[in-house]
Amino acid sequence: MFRTPLQLLRLLLAVFVFSLFAGCGCDDEVAQGDHPDGFNLDEDSSSNNTNNTTNNNTNNVGSCVVGGGSCENSSECCAQLMCNANNKCSVTLGTCDPGGQACTSGSTCCSGRCADGQCLEGSGLCALEAESCDAAIDCCSHSCVGGKCDTSTVCASRGDSCNANSDCCSNQCTGGSCTSTSSCKASGEICGGDGECCTQNCRDFGDGKRCGRGGSCRVTGDVCTVGSDCCNTQCDDGFCANLSGASNPTQSCMVVGEVCSQATDCCSYACFDDGGGFKSCQFLGGCRARAELCHRDEECCASTGMCSHHAPAKCEYYPGRDIGRCGRIQGPKPAGEICDERFGGTHDCCGGPEACQYTVLGIGRCHGEGHAECIGTGDTCAISEQCCSGLCVPNAAGNLVCSTTTCTAEGAACAANGDCCGGNCNSDKICGKEACKSNGAGCTINGECCFGNCNSLNQCGPEPCKATGTGCGSHNECCTNYCNPQNSQCASCKPNAETCATSAECCSSHCDPTTNKCADQTQCKPIGDSCTSNGQCCSEICRNGMCARACVANGSTCTAGTDCCSGYCNAGTNTCGNQTSECGGPGDSCTTTADCCLGLNCQNGSCKIIQ
């Protein structure tokens, strides 16, 4: 067996426990001696108390995340739960196990629920609207209609009319009325006080007070459809069974999942609030302490590792059932048994007084002989605090051994969320967050898209523009970039009175320069009037700020230079062209005929057409 010094591990655990319970405000003094409800744990009243630390793990907290829920840090988790390596609220800091994995307690499961040696699916929470249900208690809304959770109604209390079992909070509809064979009121039923409810939790539900649900499993007397619904795994005739008749009648402490008010109510000494006012007993992890539920002898801490000559304890079964409670052992206690100073019996542990140490949950448990050194990976253990890795879980054969983290790191291949240390296996089957999607890829939420926008077509990218005649609410919705405010439709041009910058924007083809609004065209301006656009001129030509006459291009027939766009009409050919010489034109001054252009004579000092 590989062993290393445990002093450093103890120091780290001590620091963590101190920080976990600092400022908890615990002020309940728990009397030692007889256990509540007749569970007398005294075995040797003369035995010395081996621990001087007092912790009462019954803190109430505000809104918090229950076991199995997602978290970023431990401060988000209810009571003394911690945010583990899978970013799930759990009793351990290690990784939690998904449904189907081997377990000895719900503390190792992401769902917080362990039955028949396997973690159950889910996160311990109720079903949401439209999710499948068998009874009203399955739903957060306390309403199951047609096999689906519904939010429009709430289940009916006993005595109310009904048509089907699922109409009733009790899941029993007899002769058109809700009935119940349970001595307490089921979750969802109308109540007047905590004492009426199976969960001891009567709270405001919006339409009056109703019995609140329990934790991740259902307490004695509450509605069930299968054994795994119940904390004690026993469902009789639609209600979680009230177990009785065990060979040791003094074992009346509360088992895991049952209602509690303080630590000493629980066999595990772990009474935690789920953040909603419901307190229940919780598993400690590892082997099961005396009086806790068991299915076989090997699950009990006192079944192996005896340090005395006394016979080991057994799982004492209830008559006719496959479940019992771990029995009592005489003499010093083996690893895993409770030695908490609040415990009314003997605190002797195998290995002596120093072997009784407080765990990260603030509960004294025996650490066994050889407690000064931690246990190496693969070797037998009873509780996680014994292991160098800090994790004691069942192996393939169902035996508790020290284990290491086996989750898959971010960026590596995975098959399911439970494979990943971060608790997320993305759609590419890689541990980590989903890769963002480029524009054009399908999407359902903005967060999926690299540019943060999932449009109305469920595609990443900006909203597609709307065609002319399509309803709109803003200009940028339209392909024409214009939404007509008069009819809230995309349009290709602006009607009169709409603001414009150019005439091309207007259906009238006229943007009034004095108002910058679309308008019908006024009477056109004659040649020579000032203008700012061609549309203002009768000639439809505005040149150099004035309406100009029309002109013909080079090569066209002309009679004068004003006919030509170039301003030059060749008098010899009567065609428009570019003036290529400095000869005088008709009427220009001249001295000799040579000063005049071809076809002109210089007569009386001016160029004239030859007659």
Residue type (1 letter), 137: I
| 140 vs 580, higher pLDDT | 140
Place of tokens 């109540």: 191
CB 102 within 8 A of CB 109: no
pLDDT in tens, 262-307: 888 888 888 887 655 678 888 888 889 888 888 888 888 887 656 7
Instruction: Return the structure tokens found at 585.
Output: 């034109």
DSSP string, 418-446: GGBTTS-B-TTSBBSSPPPBPTTSB-SSG
Q: Binning pLDDT at 50, 70 and 90, where does residue 552 land? A: confident
Residue 441: C-alpha distances to residues 267, 323, 434, 436 (Å): 55, 54, 14, 10
Q: Which residues contact 324 (CB under 8 A, 6 or more apart)?
A: 246, 293, 294, 295, 315, 316, 317, 318
Can you tell me the distance from the alpha carbon of 142 to that of 160, in angstroms, rounded to the nearest whole number?
15
Q: Residue 211 carries which DSSP code?
A: E
pTM of model > 0.85: no
Paired tokens of 352: 């002596």
Asked if residue 4 has pLDDT above 60, the reply is: no
Return the pLDDT at 181.
92
Q: What residues does each domain of the chain span? A: 135-204, 585-611
Residues 180-215 pLDDT 10s: 999 999 999 999 999 999 988 888 776 688 898 777
Q: How many CB atoms lie within 10 A of CB 145?
A: 18
Question: Each residue of 389-405: pLDDT tens digit?
Answer: 888 888 878 788 888 76
**Cβ-contact 405, 388 below 8 angstroms:** no
Single out the residue of 4, 109, 200, 29 nearest to residue 418, CA to CA. 109
pLDDT at 177: 96
Cα 266 to Cα 2, 89, 348, 364, 457, distances in angstroms: 35, 21, 20, 14, 56
- Confidence class of residue 79 from pLDDT cuts 50, 70 and 90? low
User: Which residues on neighbouring strands pair with residue 316, listed in sequence order?
Assistant: 325
Burial 481-493 (b: 16+ CB within 10 A, else e): ebbbeeeebbbeb
- Does 158 have pLDDT greater than 90? yes
Query: Bigger pLDDT: 210 or 68?
Result: 210
Q: How many CB atoms lie under 10 A from the CB of residue 471?
A: 11
Pairwise CA distance, residues 563 & 574, whole Å: 10
**Predicted pLDDT at 429:** 81
- Token pair belonging to 307: 């340090």
